[in-house]
């Protein structure tokens, strides 16, 4: 339904949790290399990816490759450096929701090139620098699903 993109993720547990999220949401996980871990990392598996083989996953050797393969698609860049709330977007199936590294986020140059597509999760307490990557991905992805009026099976 949607595409969730992790650009150079560093923490295997976050990627494992986001993989589980994508599987539950019938969405594709895109991993942009370099990764801060190996995909056979035990921490990744402990994060719930004993069903990794069921996940729709696409690996990209770098961000330039991702851009080529997603050309013409709607991309939304999630960052604490944006001022547009994620709920102000009208998401459509096939959209790409892009998240940066846990320690650095997305490059500012990328955000400046795409100001209309940069979004954030507003946080009332400025003392919190950011949310955990897996938490942020879940918030944005499930807003996109909510807008599609999808209900969990059963």
pLDDT at 150: 58
User: Which domains are assigned to the chain?
Assistant: 3-147 (3.40.1280.10)
pTM for the model: 0.92
For residue range 87-113, list pLDDT tens digits in order: 999 999 999 999 999 999 999 999 999
Bigger pLDDT: 53 vs 154: 53
Work out the burial of residue 45: count CB atoms within 10 Å of its CB; fewer than 13 is exposed, 13-18 middle, 19 or more buried: middle
The CA distance from 30 to 5, in Å, is 5
For residue range 5-15, list pLDDT tens digits in order: 999 999 988 99
pLDDT at 84: 97
Q: What is the mean pLDDT of the chain?
A: 91
Q: Are 19 and 49 in contact (CB under 8 A)?
A: yes
Share of the chain above pLDDT 90, in %: 79
């Amino acid at each position: 339904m949607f595409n969730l993109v992790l650009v150079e993720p560093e923490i295997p547990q976050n990627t494992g949790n986001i993989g589980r999220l994508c599987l539950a949401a019938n969405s594709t996980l895109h991993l942009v290399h370099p990764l801060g871990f190996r995909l056979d990392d035990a921490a990744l598996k402990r994060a719930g990816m004993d069903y990794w083989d069921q996940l729709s996953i696409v690996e990209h050797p770098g961000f330039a490759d991702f851009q080529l393969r997603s050309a013409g698609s709607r991309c939304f860049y999630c960052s604490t450096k944006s001022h547009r709330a994620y709920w102000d977007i009208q998401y459509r199936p096939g959209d790409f929701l892009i998240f940066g590294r846990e320690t650095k986020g997305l490059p500012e140059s990328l955000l400046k090139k795409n100001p209309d597509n940069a979004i954030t999760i507003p946080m009332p307490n400025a003392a919190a620098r950011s949310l955990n990557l897996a938490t942020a991905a879940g918030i944005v992805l499930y807003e996109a699903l909510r807008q599609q009026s999808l209900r969990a099976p059963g």
